[in-house]
A and B are shown apart, each in its own frame.
Chain A
């Protein structure tokens, strides 16, 4: 459901499709070309390519999706379908510092939702949003496998356990 809403937002704010000329002129085509250069053209390499692009740009720029469509000889719609399907990809830039709150079952039972709410309040962001200056991104993750330390969160991949709404501030 949320994916559908997400998609509709794009249609309405179709900057993404129309293209932002200023952003285009500043776009780092060299990095994109380097990424594509090492990629075979069979479609199964689409996902790994998008993963590397996401890592480099912290999102999937429009240019990368169009370039991928040409490279893999796929319709742009299929590249977009893949890019919007997986949670690992984002079509807008993610924050420099990523805080992911675990919402696994063990964390849910041991107070994860309260930790998430406390972080949301402190950052003034909802789960899934990035701060306006691009510094912080708040996310949820389904399970990190550190259930004994529940509730946990990661800051740029480093796990922090036994959180409480009060201790959540230490993550920032």
Chain B
């Protein structure tokens, strides 16, 4: 049925809300990326079978549906019970009959399925306590591909209000007054883009959504596109209405096939119902929205590269003397925002800018979805008001370090971001405080690192990633990253030389100052921030060839703390070189340092923090290495010899270049 006037959308909502009241109890199986990967589809199928088997489906006022992401990926697959608000964790298909019988039909709590037996309510769980969900508010309450569910949950009230009462000028004014800042990373005031694009001359304008979420360790945009696609579609429709665009594009990363499918379906459904396409809600306003699938290039997340990609060219950025709002896609004024920015728009237009400003911090209104991952107890998606301290997320929602470990740092902002040390965990997460501390907000990745992570290796990892993804257009990024990568690689293989860290800092600063696009300018952030906060680790790598985290192979020896050791002997079981031997059940294992390949497997296995990496004793080999320092080839070969031995046994990755390759020095 086509909705042909704004009031029709509101009538539909009233009717749907009344219909939903007939439900006495509903089960929502989390269909987020994490839970699906953990087997949520199987759980859902088993539950649906069990519900149908009991004859509860349909008429009995009960249902079981697949919802958007609930956030707590670590404990997936998750099942939420409404209206009680219980959350079952790590559900398996075998639990389905019990859930259908006890919980759905009788309303009994199954304590053994709770993550914490004392906390049945989802909202009381420490993971959800610090959260405030606006962007993710509908996830867990609606079917992602159902327009009806979206409308019943308040969707399209903003569009009908805009078309019937507000008009384009007022829509744009509300976004400008809200102080919304771009959620893709830069934090550029969205209102300035809107105003510039609205006042730009010309009959043809475009709106574009950036869903090319390429940051490793970040999946909030994916969850949004898969869990609540209509909010992006409605936000873009409002944007097009405000600036006067008739055509729009959603650019989605091709690694996310489900996101592409969900958005395409949402666009199709909205068109059928008269919420997209010609004469939207009978207002005379027309807007055509298309989904474009990316080609697998990280740089296409950069706005100008993204537009080049939509135009059918290779995704290389251009210099932004002229803003996209004036000349963007096909040189027409273009309003380009991240999908999460777009998803904020409907609520801002419907509730007003003052409401939006009441959430979050001064100059940083609203909430942000963070993906909390890495070496933390509870990984998942966390949405909090901007300005929430880092520690609240990491230690509160995330539950702190894994057993036997301590958290060392958190990396924010994806590969172009930086690392914050433990001492900075009271720093508010917003667009102003993070840059001051040498990192960025980015798209909202929070990667937790504990004492097993080597900060030099982390810098090497990100530099390697960015070097591979560099589009190659400008020399500072293409060549600079290659050089930085080589020096970091040497440091991580025990081939560090005096002056390396100074040179790295100088290269990094040059890169930041001279690269062409935002990606290049921020590419040195991981390097510079780790040098700034973890200088001691760099010094140890450079001068002593020692890695205190036990990550860089061949650069440490394991040491057992007999008091902390609980005699579980897991370390002896995982040792690939059989260097740890169990002499007696009462004593810690003995490590034969002659046989040890210093691979770090035992360190990672210990749950009691009883094993630590110690510097190598000055044996014949290391002495020879030090005395022959002036001739780099010797030392590199000696170190490479040790490394290759370790790699052969543990199967670590090997670099393409051989041990003899010469490093270029400036």
Bound CA–CA A107/B467 (angstroms): 19
Closest to B222 in A: A145
0 or 1 for each of A83-104: is its CB under 8 Å from B? (1 = yes): 0011111000000000000011
Complex contacts, B74 vs chain A, CB 8 Å: 148
Bound CA–CA A85/B314 (angstroms): 6
Among B305-320, those with CB < 8 Å from A are: 309-316
A134 within 8 A of B: no
Can you pick out 15 interface pairs between chain A and chain B where the beta carbons lie within 8 Å of each other?
A1-B472, A42-B312, A47-B295, A81-B314, A85-B314, A85-B471, A86-B295, A86-B296, A109-B453, A118-B651, A121-B651, A142-B255, A147-B34, A148-B73, A161-B38
A148–B76 touching, CB < 8 Å: yes
B219–A147 touching, CB < 8 Å: yes
A88–B254 touching, CB < 8 Å: yes
Bound CA–CA A3/B445 (angstroms): 28
Shortest Cβ gap from A156 to chain B (Å)? 12
B588 within 8 A of A: no
Bound CA–CA A165/B36 (angstroms): 23
A51 within 8 A of B: yes
A142–B298 touching, CB < 8 Å: yes
A146 within 8 A of B: yes
0 or 1 for each of A61-79: is its CB under 8 Å from B? (1 = yes): 0000000000010000010
Q: Of B148-156, B189-197, B209-217, B333-341, which binds chain A?
A: B209-217
Q: From A78, A105, A147, A148, give the contact of B461 (CB < 8 A).
A: A105
B371 within 8 A of A: yes
Closest to B650 in A: A114
- How many cross-chain pairs have Cβ atoms below 8 Å apart between A and B? 162
Shortest Cβ gap from A48 to chain B (Å)? 7
- Given contacts A114-B651, A146-B37, 13 further A-B pairs with CB under 8 A are A4-B472, A46-B312, A47-B293, A85-B315, A86-B315, A87-B297, A105-B216, A105-B217, A108-B216, A113-B653, A117-B652, A117-B654, A143-B255
- Please report A residues at the B interface, Cβ cutoff 8 Å: 1-4, 42-48, 50-51, 72, 78, 81-82, 85-89, 103-111, 113-114, 116-118, 120-121, 141-150, 152, 157, 159, 161, 165
Bound CA–CA A1/B656 (angstroms): 13
Q: Of B53-61, B176-184, B373-381, B562-570, which binds chain A?
A: B373-381
B33 within 8 A of A: yes
Q: From known contacts A86-B315, A148-B379, infer whether A159 and B653 are also in contact, taking CB-CB under 8 Å.
A: no
Complex contacts, B373 vs chain A, CB 8 Å: 105-106, 147-148, 150
Bound CA–CA A117/B651 (angstroms): 5
B380–A148 touching, CB < 8 Å: yes
Q: From known contacts A44-B310, A47-B292, A109-B447, infer whether A117 and B216 are also in contact, taking CB-CB under 8 Å.
A: no
B216–A109 touching, CB < 8 Å: no
B604 within 8 A of A: yes
B581 within 8 A of A: no
Closest to A102 in B: B216
